[in-house]
Structure 1
């Protein structure tokens, strides 16, 4: 029993890294899927009226998907830092693993919420281009404003990851 507890204690730091990566991908990816789904509803609606607007809608549909990519990037960076991606495994303390886990949270949270709101904004602008396709430039800028906060979450996660000494 003691050897099992010792082994668990030795691997807890790495497991916390895996948890952080899972949260980053899971939440940011879920937000992206939700946001894209919201925008898809509007896109399907306008394409029933005019299938030629698919290209315009596709640009706006893709925007909420970037948060999922950011979450994946942070998860890969976290696992790479811990040596879990092909390199030699790094001996982590529980606190180092917890720090890496916490460093994954900014993109997990900011990515989740910004993707949903970006999807709502994309849906609104898809409806806008249904009536005024010449306004596609403005239509892209509006949902891109939500992206700013996902980028902030990505930046803070990367800075926090780089600040953890192993």
Structure 2
């Protein structure tokens, strides 16, 4: 079923794209940074592979948040159901996508830096694993804030629960 392309429909599609695109960009950069540190740690000590995987996976959550918001926008705005959207609904979707996308971009990169440093600390002192996880998780809070604001925008903007 083809969706009639209106300004609101186009804006909602942009909102979904911004949500997953920028959040995934942050996760990808963060995971690349963390992977670089993990590879160095594994080269130094082959027993660091499991810890390296854990620290490399930590920045993935931002992409998950962006993906979930994009799905919510696509499904509950009516975009996937063939409904036309007004401009204000499309703008709410852009605001929601921007909240989770930009929060995920910054948070994912920050988490990658913290995770890379943490895996480097763990290769020197295995007792630093728990502390490294805590320090690597702290940048997650900004992504959670963006995710929650995105949901609130969808709820109070009439897309979710309308």
The answer to whether the superposition gives a TM-score over 0.5 is yes
Structure 2 portions without partners, runs of 5+:
none
Tell me, in whole angstroms, the C-alpha distance in 2 between the residues paired with 1:133 and 1:53: 9
Question: C-alpha displacement at 1:134, in angstroms?
Answer: 2.0
Q: Residue 49 of structure 1 aligns with which residue? A: 44
When the two structures are aligned, how many residues end up with a matched partner?
Answer: 156
* Contact 1:34–1:116 (CA under 8 A) maintained in structure 2: yes
Tell me, in whole angstroms, the C-alpha distance in 1 between the residues paired with 2:18 and 2:84: 22
* Contact 2:20–2:67 (CA under 8 A) maintained in structure 1: yes
- Equivalent position to 1:152, from 142, 145, 148: 145
Tell me, in whole angstroms, the C-alpha distance in 2 between the residues paired with 1:101 and 1:42: 35
Question: Max radius of gyration: which structure?
Answer: 1
Q: Residue 63 of structure 2 aligns with which residue? A: 68
Q: Residue 122 of structure 1 aligns with which residue? A: 115
Tell me, in whole angstroms, the C-alpha distance in 1 between the residues paired with 2:97 and 2:117: 30
TM-score (norm 1): 0.89
After TM superposition, list the pairs within 5 Å mapping 1:1-166 onto structure 2: 11-85=6-80, 88-165=81-158
Tell me, in whole angstroms, the C-alpha distance in 2 between the residues paired with 1:29 and 1:150: 12
* Contact 2:70–2:97 (CA under 8 A) maintained in structure 1: yes
Tell me, in whole angstroms, the C-alpha distance in 2 between the residues paired with 1:31 and 1:100: 20
